[in-house]
Amino acid sequence: MELKGFTKLLLSATLLGASGQAAAQKEISFVVTNQERQTIDGFGASDAWSMWQIGTWNDSLQTRVADWLFSSETLADGSPKGIALSIWRFNAGAGSATQGDAAQINRDTRTEYFEKQTGQRRFLQLAKERGVPTFLAFYNSPPVHLTQNGLATNTGRDGTFNLREDAYDDFAAYIADMLQTAEEEDGVHFDYVCPVNEPDGHWNWIGPKQEGTPATNREVAHIAREMSREFQQRGIATRILVNESSDFRCMFATHQTDWQRGYEIQAFWNPDSADTYVGDLPNIAPVMAGHSYWTNTPVLRPSDRNYKRVGLYGYRRRLKEELDKVPSVGFWMTELCIMSNDEEIHGGGGFDFSMEEALYVARVMHYDLTVANARSWQWWRAAGGNYKDGLIRMYLKGERTGGRRGQGRAMVKDNMVRDSKLMWTLGNFSRFVRPGAVRLEVDGSMSSDGLMLSAYRNTDGTLAIVAINYGTTDQLVSIDTPKGKTATLYRTSDVEGESLKNLGTVNLKRASLPARSVTTFLVSNRAK
């Protein structure tokens, strides 16, 4: 096994095969142990670059999107109405939209000041109404009136923070004002806020682009201290995420940058790092947040000499080893979409409604959760256009449908949305693994191109087992659990109608995992 090294291949065989010919199939055994790992804080996605539009559309479309993302209700056939995200990540604005073309930011990725974020604030309320328990705000850039160059993009200032030297306290006050306004006017309390998103990015921020700014570890610590002081003075309970790393490698080493924007775990959480240590500050969340970009390949075998150093497994193993040195600090994976190096699924271009992207992402989730011990896992955009960065495909009036998979080229007569297998695959985790759940160790034969299982004990006593069959053949499994032998089965696959569909009660001692599918077994707290 790639993750744990011992296998039980059992006795049984079944008669399978489309031709009716007898085909022996080995039954693979898994054991859900009582060995506890990390506590799960939640699963989420962000409102970035989409909800400012969807939040101004008609009520029926807003309701459909909000139900898909946030609802914990159940349909008549027992299937979930939505994926019940438990974290909503809010893209706090820098004011580049107010600047128009002078912002030097691509139009679709500009943001307004908070007071003008009508659509995004509408979705804060829709999320709250549907019971989302945790809200996180993040800044790609300080507001433009406080930046060194008057823009929300760094315009090639190397790796330094695009904030005026005399404006650190002003930025802290601006964030505090936003938090208090959201609570007073929208009734939404932000549990977390991150002032610096991807400060370790190795890009130069030159030319038309997105909002963003690099920052050195010293600069990140500086704004964190100012925010802590401001929050204490105002009695604000919101916790501060120090930063969200653009690359796991910057958290335990350096990657295409220098030491001033690397070794972040050591810099922020080791008391010996006197200039940058923030672990003793009030309001600082004991969380190291980072993004899974660029580290999902290569997918190496355990026999490869570099298996424990690089790639899907190696980078996460090294991250956990570094985090183990500060056991009081948890890890959150707060952003992922598909990039050019994700060649297995043809890179990021073209929205994918199928299981191809969904399975690829599920594999990353499995490794983030079971190797890096992520306490939270969050996708990038809740909704997007013709790119592999959205859970939901949004179409604007006048846009042509279609994409890489050729869904046709009809013109959209009015704004519309469409769900995806990726959204429902995330739901296998978000819907059934609730905040406070504890991951339990699973023994059995797993591989990145075959079967992957993870198990979680919820606070209500239910046990959620998420099984990924990455392979191209059906698999028969036997699962021993501390809870019982039967479970309710929910499945996501390319089969029509199987989008987290409730398929009834199954015997865990003999359960089928169809090829290219994600299945959740939910064992009740009264199971036997």
What pLDDT score does 14 carry? Answer: 31
Q: For 108-163, how does the pLDDT look when each residue is reduced to its tens digit (9 = 90+)?
A: 999 999 999 999 999 999 999 999 999 999 999 999 999 999 999 987 667 899 99
What pLDDT score does 204 carry? Answer: 61
Distance CA 456, CA 451 (A): 17
Q: For 218-268, how does the pLDDT look when each residue is reduced to its tens digit (9 = 90+)?
A: 999 999 999 999 999 999 999 999 999 999 999 999 999 899 999 999 999
List residues bridging with 105 in a β-sheet: 209
Our CA angle for 422, 454, 503, nearest 5°, is 60
Q: What is the mean pLDDT of residues 468-496?
A: 96
Answer yes or no: are the C-beta atoms of 21 and 32 closer than 8 Å. no
Q: What is the mean pLDDT of residues 385-395?
A: 97
Answer yes or no: are the C-beta atoms of 224 and 195 closer than 8 Å. yes
List residues bridging with 3 in a β-sheet: none
Q: Does residue 202 surpass a pLDDT of 80?
A: no
Exposure string over 15-43, b if 16+ CB within 10 A, otherwise e: eeeeeeeeeebebbbbbbeeeebbebbbb
Q: Does residue 441 surpass a pLDDT of 80?
A: yes
Q: What is the mean pLDDT of residues 469-497?
A: 96
Of 42, 49, 60, 195, the residue nearest 126 (C-alpha): 60
Quickly list DSSP for 104-157. Answer: -B-GGG----GGG-HHHHHHHHHHHHTT--EEEEEESS--GGGSSSSSSB-TT-
Mean of pLDDT over the chain: 92
What pLDDT score does 155 carry? Answer: 75
Answer yes or no: are the C-beta atoms of 264 and 288 closer than 8 Å. yes
Structure confidence at residue 8 as a pLDDT band (50, 70, 90):
very low
To the question of pTM greater than 0.85 for the whole model, the response is: yes
Which CATH code for domain 42-287+361-430?
A: 3.20.20.80
Assigned token pair, 187: 């009734």
Of 435 and 399, more confident = 435
Q: Does residue 181 surpass a pLDDT of 50?
A: yes
Q: Does residue 24 surpass a pLDDT of 60?
A: no
Please state the domain extents for the chain: 8-36+441-523, 42-287+361-430
**How many C-beta neighbours within 10 Å does residue 425 have?**
28
Q: What is the mean pLDDT of residues 29-33?
A: 98
**How many C-beta neighbours within 10 Å does residue 299 have?**
17
What pLDDT score does 526 carry? Answer: 75
Structure confidence at residue 207 as a pLDDT band (50, 70, 90):
low
Q: 340, exposed or middle or buried, with CB in 10 Å at 0-12, 13-18, 19+?
A: exposed
Is the domain covering 8-36+441-523 a CATH 2.40.160.40 domain? no
Distance CA 238, CA 224 (A): 13
